[in-house]
Amino acid sequence: MRSRALDASPARPSRRRGLRRLLGAAGVIALALGAAACAGPRGTAGDAGHSTLTVFAAASLTDVFEQVNADFEADHPGVRVVMTNAGSSDLVTQIDQGAPADVLATADERTMARAQELGLTAEDPRPFATNTLTIAVAPGNPRGITSLADLTDPDLAVVRCAAPVPCGAVADEVLADAGIPLVAVSEENSVTDVLGKVTSGQADAGLVYATDVARSGGAAEAVTIPGAAAHATVYPIAVTDRAEDPELAAAYREAVLGPEGRAALGDAGFGPP
Amino acid sequence: MSARTAPPLPLGVGALGVIAAASIVLPLAAIVLQVPWEGATGLLFSPASLQALRLSLLTAACAAAVCLGLGLPLALLLARTRFPGREVLRAMVLVPLVLPPVVSGIALLMTVGRRGLLGPLLEQADARIVFTTAAVVIAQVFVSLPFTVLTLESALVSAGTVPEQVAASLGARPSTVLARITLPRLAPAIVTGTVLAFARSLGEFGATLTFAGSMPGVTRTLPLEIYLARESDPDSAAVLSLLLVLVAILVVLLAYARRGAPGRTQEEAR
């Protein structure tokens, strides 16, 4: 609809048309710029003298790899590390669909094996850390939970990961080993969701990794499971088939495996491989 | 603006329009074309899928019923009464439409979660909502109610109040006016509003995951089952996705194929 003010103004068709054309052109340019801006930072990467290393790391590695990345950037001037964090399975799917990743670190060997089968890795993956299942409870352990067996109390709301996700598979193994038939109120899609249900007070206990409790910053407390160490999850890392600079990617892998990475991982609650 | 046959549009509009249409139609077509058809029926009728589908249909039907039962009174209040803060309330009703679903889930947790606003009250009543099927329905109602209220309200506004005023002047009581005049005239919009709420509920994912959890047969609806299936069995996820796409298309056809309904004319007038 035309605004009344425009219609009522003295007719200066040529000038108005000029203005319209200008507006139209501006609109098209704005649209093009907008679309270009939406295309993301990847388009601006690779400035002269700078290179970008893209790391795909499992969600549980987010905090500790931020430390590793900062150290790596300090040791390699001109290198910027960009990290994507998601469930390991999602990461492999994304790389399979063409996502640009130089290094892949997953939270279990099963998912890395799938990446290998799909031909997405350039080398044999190396284990760099382990993680053990633990019981997360509210700070101060108000329900007095001391063992896996305590979790079978029907008054307790217990959450765990669903079997198809790595933390669920480990939970199944540990529970089967202990011979405990656990009835959960929810089987979450990720270990982060399990921890969230505990820290938000919706659940009394949750089966998570030791590192999840460590990075909750006091919002949850760990009750260790004696038999869990036998079912520790192994975290593998590998350079991908599409690494832009395979040497740089390999250097990153070595940084994770080396003493600095080892120390950062240890601080975050990860065990040695 | 009353021209029956619209004058021709500039050339660029057509091209951009085609891009817009393609950005919606192409992904839908991709699902149909890319689904691994061999073995599709086996995946579709696996016990886990059927259980999730049954739960989805059940909860979405409950949510749609609640949306109609609560949305109709609210729409009547917004359209037919004047009270302070009415415009603000109308704007608030729209908020769940634009909220990220995760935020909706967090908001609901803060309302009826254990440490939520109503948490102590629920504790006293020994009622736990989180992790139950009721939580799924609550999440669905929260995100679907705006559709019902909006549809009904705009239909009420465009229908006007002349017949109601006539009936009232002849001595009809308010309840009689509502039952005999208003509701029958609103019937098409009631169908549209309820079907839309059903559809939105069927697709609810983020708020459910955040607020209700994911338990087979209790809170794991079809969208949550799809999300989980992706972890281990992408083919099964694709087939289940197709099922939801087909249901969505069916529902939208049901809701919008009725030209001339009051809810529709109002939207066209805008």
Share of chain A above pLDDT 70, in %: 82
Which among B214, B230, B240 is the top mutation candidate for probing chain A, defined by the most A β-carbons within 10 Å of its own β-carbon?
Answer: B214
Residues A238 and A227 reside in one and the same domain: no
Which DSSP string do the residues of B115-175 spell out, in sequence order? Answer: TSTTHHHHHHTT---TTSHHHHHHHHHHHHHHHHHHHHHHHHHHH-SHHHHHHHHTT--HH
The average pLDDT across A151-174 equals 91
Provide the 3-class DSSP secondary structure of residue A80. strand
Strands A158-161 and A79-86: unpaired
Check pLDDT > 70 for residue A19: no
DSSP B7: P
- Domain holding B105, by residue range, is 86-269
Query: What's the pLDDT band for B269 if we cut at 50, 70, 90?
Result: very low
The reply, when asked if residue A170 is annotated as ligand binding, is: no
Q: Is residue A35 part of a domain?
A: no
Q: What is the pLDDT of residue A124?
A: 95
- Does B27 touch chain A if contact means CB atoms closer than 8 Å? no
Domain-located, residue B264 = yes
Which percentage of chain B shows pLDDT scores above 70? 94
Is B13 a domain residue?
A: no
Q: A229-247: buried (b, 16+ CB within 10 Å) or exposed (e) per residue?
A: eebbbbbbbbbbbbbeeee
In a domain, B26, yes or no: no
Q: Which of residues 204-243 of B touch A (CB under 8 A)?
A: 209, 213-216, 219-220, 224, 227-234
Best residue in A187, A190, A191, A193 for a mutation probing chain B (most B CBs within 10 Å): A187
Residue B72 lies in a domain: no
Total structural domains in chain A?
2
> pLDDT digit string (tens) for A64-82?
999 999 999 999 999 999 9
DSSP letter for each residue of A138-162: -TT-TT---SGGGGG-TTS-EEEE-
Q: What is the rounded CA–CA span in Å between residue B70 and residue B88?
A: 19
CATH of the domain at A199: 3.40.190.10
> Cα distance from A258 to chain B (closest Cα, Å)?
31
Q: Count interface pairs A-B at CB distance under 8 A.
A: 60
Residue A73 and residue A46 in contact, taking contact as beta carbons nearer than 8 Å = no
Same domain, A117 and A159: no
Over chain A, what is the mean pLDDT?
A: 86
Alpha helices in A118-245 (DSSP H): 166-178, 191-199, 210-214
| Number of domains chain B is built from | 1
Side chain identity at residue A124, one-letter code = D
Determine the pLDDT at residue A28: 63
Question: If you count DSSP H runs as helices and E runs as strands, how many of each does chain A have, helices first?
Answer: 10, 10
- Residue A14 assigned as binding residue: no
Q: Which residues of B touch A186 (CB under 8 A)?
A: 131, 213-215, 219
Q: Is residue A8 part of a domain?
A: no
- Record: contact B215-A185, CB cut-off 8 A: yes
Shortest Cα distance from B115 to chain A (angstroms)?
7
Amino acid at A20: R
In a domain, A86, yes or no: yes
Same domain, A225 and A244: no
Question: In the predicted model, is pLDDT for residue B264 greater than 50?
Answer: no
The pLDDT of A141-162, averaged and rounded, is 93
Domain CATH number, residue B94: 1.10.3720.10
CA-to-CA distance for B43 and B235, rounded, in angstroms? Answer: 8
Higher-pLDDT residue of B175 and A6 is B175
In our burial notation (b when 16+ CB lie closer than 10 A, e otherwise), range A256-268 reads bbeeebbebbeeb
A89 is in an annotated binding site: no
Give the residue from A200, A188, A131 showing the smallest Cα distance to A160: A188
Residues on chain A touching B230 (C-beta within 8 angstroms) = 89-90, 93
Does residue A45 carry a pLDDT above 60?
no
Query: Is the Cβ pair B224, A159 closer than 8 Å?
Result: no
Task: Note whether A175 and A106 are same-domain residues.
Answer: no
Q: Does A60 appear as a known binding residue?
A: yes
Considering the domain architecture, whether residues A215 and A83 belong to the same structural domain is answered as no
Residues 126-185 of B with CB under 8 A from A: 128, 130-131
Q: Higher pLDDT residue, A44 or A81?
A: A81
pLDDT, averaged across chain B: 88
Answer for the pair B58, B218: CB distance below 8 angstroms, yes or no: no
CB contacts of A188 in chain B (<8 Å) are 213-214
In a domain, B116, yes or no: yes
- The residue range of the domain holding A239 is 45-130+234-267
Task: Specify whether A180 is located in the same domain as A52.
Answer: no
| pLDDT of amino acid A46 | 43
Q: Let me know if residue B38 belongs to a domain.
A: no
**pLDDT reading at B135 higher than 60:** yes
Pair A94, A109 in one domain:
yes
CB within 8 Å of A229: residues ≥ 6 apart: A132
**Per-residue model confidence as pLDDT tens digits over B203-228:** 999 999 988 999 999 999 999 999 88
| Inter-chain CB proximity B214 and A202 less than 8 Å | no
pLDDT at residue A26, rounded to an integer? 66
Domain membership of residue B207 (yes or no) is yes
Out of A31-40, A127-136, B238-247, pick the least confident.
Answer: A31-40
Quote the tokens at residue A208.
Answer: 């998570």
Question: CB distance B234–A93 less than 8 Å?
Answer: yes
